[in-house]
Structure 1
Amino acid sequence: MENDVAITLGFPQGGTKIDRRTKGAEDTTLLEDWKAGLKMDDLNITPMQLCKAMLAYKEGWEWFKRHLALLITTMFLESTATGYVNTYMINNFADVTKIADLNWCEYVLRSLVDSKVAWAKKTSQKFTGPIVFLTVFYVDRLVVYRRSVPRTFLAFKGWDTHLLNKREKAEISSGGFGYGYIDDPQELPYLNEEKKSDECEEELQVTSTNTMSCN
């Protein structure tokens, strides 16, 4: 399943698990520095406000990368019921050189499960899970009649608002959501390369063995 996230969104599958801070049990030093840098007294900042604040970081630097990681977290992993930026994972971005070493794919799946459980208990509240992944994964894997949108890697690159609207209308006219057939998952390109490399190595071994036998 982690591969499905990587194929859909292109997130890293690093070896470090993403931790979610809990109130009262976390080191808030980085969080306080974040607030101070944005000249905020609280955590009530919207993604749009954070985007505007990022424009001040002309050279990039560490805080630009942390801001970007927080935006990606909020938009693709786990949003908030209030609509503000999700800061619960900020301590994972203390060392910006290790952001790619985090297992973003695993957290998307963890967030999906946790948010579904929370939403099921109170369906009137906002669903805060990875809705972009859920939507694109659904339209990529479930085919209605025939595949009208060519598959791409990454999967989300093949879909835009117009195509998603057309897909929604097609499903409604066909009788509802979930009708169709489930297509096979795509394979990650680097896994294909590893597979080809293994096959090539096996062929070389067979050829070498046959050659030695002939001699």
Structure 2
Amino acid sequence: MPREISHYLVRQFDYSKCAFTLENGEEVKIEEEDVQMILGLPRGELDIIEYENIETDDKLKAFRTRWGNPVNGAPLVPMKMIENKAADNNFKIDFVLFMVSYFLWCDHLSQVSRHRILKSISDVDNIKKFNWCKFVFEGLVNSCEKWKGNEKRHYQGPQTFLILCYVYKVSNPELGGINDYRFPILSCWNDTMLKFRLDTEWANGGFGRGSDVGRIPLSPLQNEKTTKDEGEYEETYQDRGQTRRWI
């Protein structure tokens, strides 16, 4: 993804309004529901609690024993997971940590792992019960506020979500786009399509020159949260007969 679009969107994002402004003055509102629609993440009842910077305990010590310094350990996680081969609880914890660090936060430059979430995800049975949408949404607001205090630094935040939200909610008829969206919106795009859309915008006057089309309805969308007999958390979405469950 081009660095230009990330910087553009963060500069245009007003964290006090939770919206970014297009070139025509329209404000594109972002809400927690958009995270769910775009990324398809669970939206449970538990909040994700992170370690404070100086805080430590046995769970964090165990992680450091496996991976070393969490500041530069994120790039090694997939290789080590393959080498270990065991599909145990450590595998689940490491997988979630890697996805949060590299997919949700996209902090490729500094390669810092989001190890502070170990305070919550070390209990693997609770991973599906957390409100991951709230985690990403609040992370977007807080990271944009922090970045605007020092714009010379690279942006550390949920870039993937922000860019997908932009291409989903902002339409420019001259550039074409996706007409048949499905849930989650992430599944409608691939690298080639996204690069074409953004490169075309860049070559035709720059970003932010479309209009806000809001949250495009897919079809009647139901979000049900139930607790099964064994205590498993289920989050079901029905979209054109499709059902997604987080079990």
Q: TM-score by structure 1 length?
A: 0.79
Candidates 110, 130, 134, aligned match of 2:158: 130
- Bigger drift between 169-178 and 46-55 goes to 169-178
SS at match of 2:222: helix
Tell me which residue corresponds to 2:227: none
Map Cα deviations across residues 68-115 of structure 1 (whole Å, 9 max, x no partner): 111121123335563122201111112101101111100101111111
Tell me which residue corresponds to 2:9: none
Q: CA deviation at 1:178?
A: 1.2
Native 8 Å contact 1:79 1:86 kept in 2: no
C-alpha distance in structure 2 between counterparts of 1:83 and 1:2, whole Å: 26
Q: Against the structure 1 CA distance between its residues 3 and 34, is the aligned structure 2 distance closer, same or farther, given a 3 Å change threshold?
A: same
Q: Against the structure 1 CA distance between its residues 109 and 193, is the aligned structure 2 distance closer, same or farther, given a 3 Å change threshold?
A: closer
Structure 2 unaligned segments of length 5 or more: list them.
1-30, 225-247
Q: Against the structure 1 CA distance between its residues 11 and 131, is the aligned structure 2 distance closer, same or farther, given a 3 Å change threshold?
A: same
SS at match of 1:88: helix
Whether 1:28 aligns to 2:57 is yes
Identity between Structure 1 and Structure 2 (%) = 25
SS at match of 1:121: coil
Tell me which residue corresponds to 2:34: 4
- Bigger drift between 47-56 and 71-80 goes to 71-80
Q: CA deviation at 1:122?
A: 1.2
Tell me which residue corresponds to 2:118: 90
Tell me which residue corresponds to 1:145: 173
SS at match of 2:126: helix
Q: CA deviation at 1:186?
A: 3.9
C-alpha distance in structure 1 between counterparts of 2:199 and 2:99, whole Å: 29
Q: Against the structure 1 CA distance between its residues 184 and 82, is the aligned structure 2 distance closer, same or farther, given a 3 Å change threshold?
A: closer
C-alpha distance in structure 1 between counterparts of 2:217 and 2:46, whole Å: 23
Q: CA deviation at 1:193?
A: 7.2
Native 8 Å contact 1:12 1:101 kept in 2: yes
Bigger radius of gyration among the two: 1
Q: CA-atom RMSD, angstroms?
A: 2.3
Native 8 Å contact 2:93 2:121 kept in 1: yes
Native 8 Å contact 1:3 1:188 kept in 2: no
Native 8 Å contact 1:7 1:187 kept in 2: no
- Name the structure where strand makes up a greater proportion of residues: 2
Whether 1:175 aligns to 2:205 is yes
C-alpha distance in structure 1 between counterparts of 2:73 and 2:152, whole Å: 22
Map Cα deviations across residues 125-167 of structure 1 (whole Å, 9 max, x no partner): 1111100000011101111116522423211112122212211
SS at match of 1:69: helix
Native 8 Å contact 1:116 1:129 kept in 2: yes
Q: Against the structure 1 CA distance between its residues 57 and 191, is the aligned structure 2 distance closer, same or farther, given a 3 Å change threshold?
A: farther
- Name the structure where helix makes up a greater proportion of residues: 1
Tell me which residue corresponds to 1:207: none
Structure 1 unaligned segments of length 5 or more: list them.
195-215
In structure 2, give the amino acid aligned to 1:95.
D
1:91-106 superposed matches below 5 A: 91-106=119-134
